[in-house]
Structure 1
Amino acid sequence: MSDTQKPWNSPMPEPQFNLMRRILAAPSPVGLEAAMTYGVLKPHFEGFAPASWQLHQFKGHAGVVLDTHPGRDDLFKVMIIGHADKIRMQVRSIGEDGKIWINSDSFLPNVVIGHEVTLFSEDPEAPGSYRRIQGGTVEALGAIHFSEPAQRNGDKGIKKEQLYLELQIHGENKKQQVENLGVRPGDSILLDRPIRHGFSPDTFYGAYLDNGLGCFVTAEVARLIAEAGGTEQVRVMFAIASYEEIGRFGSRVLAGELEPDAIIAVDVNHDYVAAPGIGDRRMQPLEMGKGFTMSVGAIASEQLNRIIETTARKHDIPMQRDIVGVDTGTDGMAGVLAAVDCVATSIGFPIRNMHTISETGYTRDVLAAIHAITQTVQALDALPDPHREFLDHHPRLDQAGPLAHRGGDKPEKTVK
């Protein structure tokens, strides 16, 4: 395959970009993920999945799993996980002056001020039926004229308790007007910022790349595996989880129910090189535009990582190593949290401005992740016995050999 034929070396085709945009656009705040899982991904899966594949659905949450070999517990089971839940704001209380006081969840308070949002309100007269209220903005001070001097010069920030939703309510009985709309504490609020092509080639930006991108990658791997004729020795479970943003709870349930032998979580990562004020902390130099990332450390399996890295090198797919310490910070932890014996790792792609309205990514990094995972699944399927591969080949540091050269002997070699 020439460089020009490698998808990760080319711009993302517009139909594929539009699929990514539709997945990312689905309003799926924590606990209400079905807009993405049932509204977009379920019909998408049904559009290409062979008749023998099965879609698992769950009672306690809106996660879904597309299964290539339902019931075949004898096969080596690989679960690839993206999470559909988005961070959101929530209504906290309604003031007499019509202000809708809100919780900021995992947003920094200052990054949401002035931005347009949609409030999703459950109809008090018809529980389970939801309406959308648009035209509001998130505010905190009202105007610079009402701010303290320390806030004007940047010495003092905005507190999360100061945030409210401005619906331009005026006249008499302002609180009653809001309550007449059916707005109640607990209602979810999402930022209105669709995904757009960026200025720089092959970039894109908008809200909630975390983690519709992981769901998009998981879905594209499923499509590619289906188009390649499926697998023989490996049962692949393409999982779209819930509740990741509040503790990786949804993927823990999926792992507990389906007991995979291997987990590959797919989630966004940080561009540490571009992050302001981070370079001097000596973080790993992950960078947008340099390929997908692979977690090293925490519960990440060195055996699984070896197969991923070997596969990426074989196909010249650009890869970066991510050091994760004691916790991957992703659904890669699902197996150990669910007390399931499995190998696991986490695959990502560096983005900028995470948990803001202007998250930014690079399509070729996303394509690199899609094809690296696809090729890894196929490499696992080609093993003589995938089960014994991981049972018998744990790394042995007591068998480590001495270096046969000094570092200065290979000055041209760069270790990534």
Structure 2
Amino acid sequence: MLARSSRRVGATALRCGARGLATGSEGERPWAKALDEETFGRLRTLLAAPSPVGLEGAMTQGVLEPRLREIIPSAWKVHKFRSQAAMVVDTDPKASDDKLTVMVVGHADKIRMQVKKIANDGKVFIDSDSHLALTLLGRDVAIFSEDAETPGEYRVIRGGTVEALGAIHFAEANIRTGQRGIKAEQLYVELGIHGKNKKKQVTEGLGLRPGDSIIMEKPIRRGVGCNTFTGAYLDNGLGCWVAAEACEQMAQDPAFAETLEKVRVLFAFATHEEIGRFGSRVLAQTFKPDVLIAVDVNHDYVAAPGIASKQMPDLAMGEGPTLSVGSITSAHLNATIQRAARRADIPLQIDVVGRDTGTDAMAGVLASVDAASTSIGIPIRNMHTVSETGCTDDLVAATHLFVETVRELGRQEADGVAFAHPNLTDAKEITSIPAHLFDDEDADGEDSKSDN
């Protein structure tokens, strides 16, 4: 996800471990608390599901479907599909065409590696896909191998690690000094194969063959920083977690029934995002939602090392979810989300995404569907590595942000407010800067800091 600038709206950004009272009857802000063990366990289970691109059923059908079927009302429906392991939970499958339909999309697929070639010495050379080669070295992986004798059945081989150099003693001088990195074609999985017939041990003994999927093995754990967690594949089990938690909130809150009379909600768990957002565009074409909101990870640019000169936006983990502006995002929908954030005192960071959101928010336009779209992001660190790091404050805030956005859309429907597009000829001209800004001391010392 590429972004260029940001600003914050709504609540003052919450610091880790903070407490505060929300407006109205919300009570304590739930995103200011650590997740309890049961909820964190649900998150860990979801992110641990082996769901590489094209094989997402472990997350959608293995984890999400059983849980959501237990909590949704009988009138709701779970949709499944012939072409992919996607799943959609539908609050009103018999809705009329004129009922406002809102789709929230998280993607269940994980970026994968694949077996590319099995060498005579038993090395399993791999395609690293979207991974940066040097971040994979020494990582524990699981290989999911389709049984050639029984197509459609899979075995898993654990205990292998990704390697490229063998012992560091064999590395060339420019690699040892850091002048040159690791090339993707050097990567292989070390399985400890030895003795005779090494290749046959792998191909016939283990049944591995080109195309088998490989994923990293590192379940999430709580981090050292307050309310943080770290592990592999936050991208994008987090979007699915937000959609599932929002589904549970709406299903179990009797007060939300009035909103659902006006708004049909589709909780979509998509596939194939990491290779081109192919799954979500099928869902958009199938259901033709009026509103489409993707929930995906975003970057913590403030903490990212070595990028100060690139003038990236001030997005930060722990300071609330992000809202995309630019690309195909709807100004009216974004304004609605910002109003919802202000009404519920939810922290929100504004992000700029240029030509492409980089998320499933593009699904509507890619499927030629007239859907007002945008993207909500969870800022994380170390994206596409084994040590992705996030803050549960942002995760919970994003869940409540979507719920409150649907509530706000329900109010608009009740008031007969149509989706409108801003007319910039009505913009109010600003001719001066408020005088107090010249006189106030800069408490943060921003004027003394250099962005370079």
Smaller-chain TM-score bracket: over 0.9
Shift of 1:297: 0.5
For residues 136-173 of structure 1, give each alpha carbon's deviation from its aligned partner in whole angstroms, at most 9, with x where no partner exists.
11000101111110000000100000000111000001
Evaluate the alpha carbon distance shift between residue 276 and residue 54 of structure 1 in structure 2; reply closer, same or farther with a 3 A threshold.
Answer: same
Alpha-carbon spacing, 1:15–1:359, altered in 2? closer, same or farther (3 Å)? same
Q: Find the counterpart in structure 1 of residue 151 from structure 2.
A: 127
Maintained 8 Å contact 1:380/1:386: no
Name the CA shift for 1:394/1:233 in 2 (closer, same or farther; >3 Å).
same
Partner of 1:152: 176
Determine the C-alpha separation between the residues in 2 that align with 1:264 and 1:155.
Answer: 43
Superimposed CA distance per residue, residues 41-82 of structure 1 (whole angstroms, 9 cap, x where no aligned partner): 001110110000001101000000000000313210000000
Question: Residues 36-75 of structure 1 correspond to what in structure 2 (within 5 A)?
Answer: 36-72=59-95, 73-75=97-99
Secondary structure of the residue aligned to 2:274 is: helix
Taking the aligned partners of 1:408 and 1:147, their CA distance within structure 2 comes to 62
1:368, distance to aligned residue in structure 2 (A) = 0.7
Q: Is 1:198 the equivalent of 2:251?
A: no
- Pick which of 58-67 and 9-18 moved more: 9-18
Output the CA distance in 2 between the equivalents of 1:193 and 1:350: 20
1:20 matches 2:52: no
Deviations 1:96-132 (A, max 9, x none): 0000010101110010111111100011111000011
Q: Structure 1 residue 401: deviation in Å?
A: 1.7
The correspondence of residues 236-385 of structure 1 with structure 2, limited to 5 A, is 236-384=265-413
Distance 1:400 1:128, change over 3 A: same
**Shift in Å, 1:407:** 4.2
Q: By how many angstroms is 1:342 displaced?
A: 1.0
Maintained 8 Å contact 1:138/1:164: yes
Partner SS state of residue 125, structure 2: strand
Structure 1 counterpart of 2:446: none
Tell me: CA distance 1:32–1:384, structure 2 relative to 1, closer, same or farther (3 Å): closer
Contact 1:89–1:104 (Cα < 8 Å) also in 2: yes
One-letter code aligned to 1:288: M
For residues 306 and 281 of structure 1, what CA distance do their matches in structure 2 show? 29
Q: CA deviation at 1:279?
A: 2.1
Cα pair 1:76 1:386 within 8 Å, conserved: no
Q: How does 1:182-221 map to 2 (within 5 A)?
A: 182-221=207-246
Aligned AA (1:394): H
Q: Distance in 2 between matches of 1:263 and 1:143?
A: 50
Q: Matches of 2:142 and 2:219 in 1, distance apart?
A: 12
Q: Which amino acid aligns with 1:406?
A: I
CA distance, structure 2, for counterparts of residue 112 and residue 233 of structure 1: 48
Q: Does 1:399 align with 2:418?
A: no
Give the structure 1 partner of residue 6 of structure 2. none
2:162 aligns to what? 138
Distance 1:43 1:410 in 2: 55
Task: From the superposition, tell whether residues 387 and 114 of structure 1 become closer, same or farther in structure 2 (CA, over 3 Å).
Answer: farther
* Deviation for aligned residue 1:413: 12
Q: Which runs of 5+ in 1 are unaligned?
A: none
- Secondary structure in structure 2 of the residue aligned to 1:240: strand
Letter in 2 for 1:204: F
* 1:410–1:315 Cα change, 3 Å: farther
Please say if residues 120 and 133 of structure 1, whose CA atoms lie closer than 8 Å, have aligned partners that are also in contact: yes
Report the identity percentage.
55
Kindly provide the amino acid, as one letter, of the partner of residue 368 in structure 2: A
Letter in 2 for 1:223: E
Alpha carbons of structure 1 residues 227 and 413: separation in structure 2 relative to 1, 3 Å: farther
Map Cα deviations across residues 20-52 of structure 1 (whole Å, 9 max, x no partner).
111101000000000000000001110110000
Query: For 1:413 and 1:35, how far apart are their aligned partners in 2?
Result: 55
Separation in 1 of the partners of 2:337 and 2:435? 29
* Cα distance, 1:256–1:123 mapped onto 2, change above 3 Å: same
Aligned pairs, how many?
412
Deviation at 1:280, TM superposition (A): 2.0
Q: Report the Cα distance in structure 1 between the residues aligned to 2:371 and 2:225, rounded to whole angstroms.
A: 40
TM-score normalised according to structure 2 size:
0.89
What is the alpha-carbon root mean square deviation over aligned residues? 1.6
Q: Summarize deviations over 1:288-319 as a string: whole Å, max 9, x none.
A: 11111000110111101111111111111111
Higher relative contact order (CA 8 A, sep 6+): 2
- Taking a change above 3 Å as real, the CA distance of residues 284 and 132 of structure 1, as seen in their structure-2 partners, is same
User: What is the deviation of 1:191?
Assistant: 0.6
Distance 2:189 2:413 in 1: 59
Partner Cα distance (1:17, 1:404) in 2 = 50
Deviation at 1:387, TM superposition (A): 7.9
Q: Distance in 1 between matches of 2:333 and 2:273?
A: 23
